[in-house]
Structure 1
Amino acid sequence: NNMAEAIASAIISYKKEYFGSQADVNYDKTLSSKAAESTKSKRIADNKVLKARNSNVVFKVQFAAGNKKIKLNPSNFKGLKNVSVRTRNGSFYKYAYGDTSDYAVAKKDLKEVKSKGYTAAYIIAFRDGKSISVEEAIKL
């Protein structure tokens, strides 16, 4: 059952990322599935080596997304300074905080982002610049 939910969630997430949406999306209002995914990632990570052995793995905290491009000034993101943006098809923007190969640091970054009011924020991972699951990144 958990496997089916994870697959369905991944498909929906991919569809939203690929096709975008007509209205701005704010991850503060996403379904609890992202929170559940984050909790699952946390439990898995607590049982694994927290620091990625592969220096090509990067963890960030995604906290917002939408069709509107926002300047990367800290004042636009409740004081968060190390904010980056990824774009999909040039019209859908995903905002993330931090940039570390250490999962423990990413968990601290997540707490900081949530303390700023982005309560549905979650950790994302990349390997060689490509998005991968947090679980996979922790295993590397």
Structure 2
Amino acid sequence: MGSEDFKEKKHFLMRYRKNIAKINRLKTLIYILDEEIKSVKSVKYDSSSRGGEPSENKVNKKIDYEIRLSNIKKITDQYKREIIECIDNLEDIRFIDVLEKYFIDCYDMEEISIELNYSLRYTRYLYSQAIEHITLNVH
């Protein structure tokens, strides 16, 4: 298998994991804005006040983040289904275990090796072999 084929497969499989990071970022931003909105007391603004962002802007920003979050979640769910379908078509259960833990459960290689009781070197070997054996089901 050429390195371009390997990169293409890895890119396809990484889509879910990358979107999970985006989802977590948006959730954090929403949480922070929500806390800021809750902490805003009834403050009278006059032309000389130089406070933080008005709460109305924060509410609008929170709504925008929630819309973005909803849209990314829909795309991410589709990515997850596609990736799981590819992983489940592998015949070697060890390959399935490693790829699912890495690309779906978002474990790092060290966590996978501990969870599966493999050496880190063997876990990385299985990972690369699994990617070589996977067939992409691009719709």
Higher strand share: 1
Give the TM-score taking structure 1 as reference length: 0.26
Report which of the two structures shows the higher radius of gyration computed on alpha carbons: 2
